[in-house]
Structure formats: C-alpha cells, structure tokens
Amino acid sequence: MKTRNVYVFVLSVLFSLNCLAQETEKRFGVELNGGASFATTELSGADLNTGAGFEAILQYRFMPFTSVYGGWGWNHFNADDSFAGADMDFEETGYVLGLQFKYPIGNSPVACFVRGGGLYNHIETENNDGDTVNDTGHGLGWQLAGGVEVNLGKNWSVAPGVKFNSLSRDTEFEGENHQLDHRYLSARIGIIKRF
C-alpha cells in the first residue's frame, strides 16, 4: 500500500513539473522551415526529380500541449519529361491550417511533435523561362508531419522533422484533362521564435 502511494506521489510530481515547464513557454511562435522534397507518386505520368521547399508558419498554443498552426508554403519540383513537355517545373503553393501536439521528453530541452492539417493549394506548371503555362486553381489537400523540437534558449528552437503532403487537382492542358495527384515526403529543418 505504501509503495503504491509513493508511485502515485512521484508520478503526480513529475506530471506537475511537466505542466509547469510547459506553461513557462510562450504561447505564440513563428516558424520558418525548409528542406528537400521527394515525390512518392508520378504527376500525371511524369517522374518528378528531387525538389525543395519552405514554409512560414504561425503557431498559437491554446492548451498545455496543443497548438493551432497556419501559414503559407512553396514546393518546387522539376520533371525531365511531362504532359506539358520536356524540362518543366511544377510548383505547389498555398496555405495550411492544422493542429500540433507537442510533448516534452522529461526535463530535457527536447520535445516530440506531430501535426495534422488541411491544405488549400494549387499546382503551377512553368516552362524554362519561368512563365506559367498551366494552373490548377486552389483546392483542398492534407498534411501530416512529425519531428523533434530542441529548445536553444531565449525563446529560440530548432525543429528537424518530416512532412507528407497530399493534393489532388484536375486540370486541362492543350485540350486534354489530367488528374494531378501530388504526394511527396519532405525532410525539413525549422527555426522557431516564440513570443
């Protein structure tokens, strides 16, 4: 009986310390992240080369471990051959809105996070001169992400992680309809400032 009471007391103290440590963290945060992107599907028959992208995100923590996040992102891919011709660029841009759950690992400066959100993005096809030759228009998609956040002090953090985006858009190019199922995995590193 005494052992059980000791365990309950120790667990209560540890949980309280985690809650107190979390409450000292500022509620707002701005994150800039970027990195390499790897297509997991063909884009209407086109093999996409390794791409790159970035996001600018605003976070608001409304519960001890839960935040809402929203922002804007850009991802660029190139295809040697595609429905639009040779050496074409595909850029996905748009908005993201979602929830993040972040949990600290003990008393360390490291926390794990997972995110899930919706996208409102479009895909532009560009030629070698940078001219847009096709635009799908904005539509809904989704995003899942996860990683670790390391507190560097003075309200700065670094957050390496991975992200998966999925967006499906219909488009017409030179009289032909194309279904663009754009899915890719990204390796990202973010810098976060809290205030």
Q: What is the CATH number of the domain that holds 133?
A: 2.40.160.20
Tell me the pLDDT tens digit for each residue of 151-195: 999 999 999 999 999 999 999 988 889 999 999 999 999 999 999
Per the domain annotation, does 10 fall within a domain? Answer: no
**What distance in Å separates the CA atoms of residue 185 and residue 136, rounded to the nearest whole number?**
21
Model-level pTM? 0.84
- 34-58, pLDDT tens digit by residue? 999 999 999 999 999 999 999 999 9
Q: Containing domain of residue 124, as a range?
A: 27-194
> Would you state the structure tokens that stand for residue 186, as one six-digit string?
């990204």
189 within a domain of the structure (yes/no): yes
Q: Is the dihedral of CA 172, 173, 176, 178 positive or negative?
A: negative
Strand pairing category for 156-173 and 139-153: antiparallel
Helix (H) or strand (E) holding 145: strand 139-153
Radius of gyration of the chain (CA): 21
Q: Is residue 178 part of a domain?
A: yes
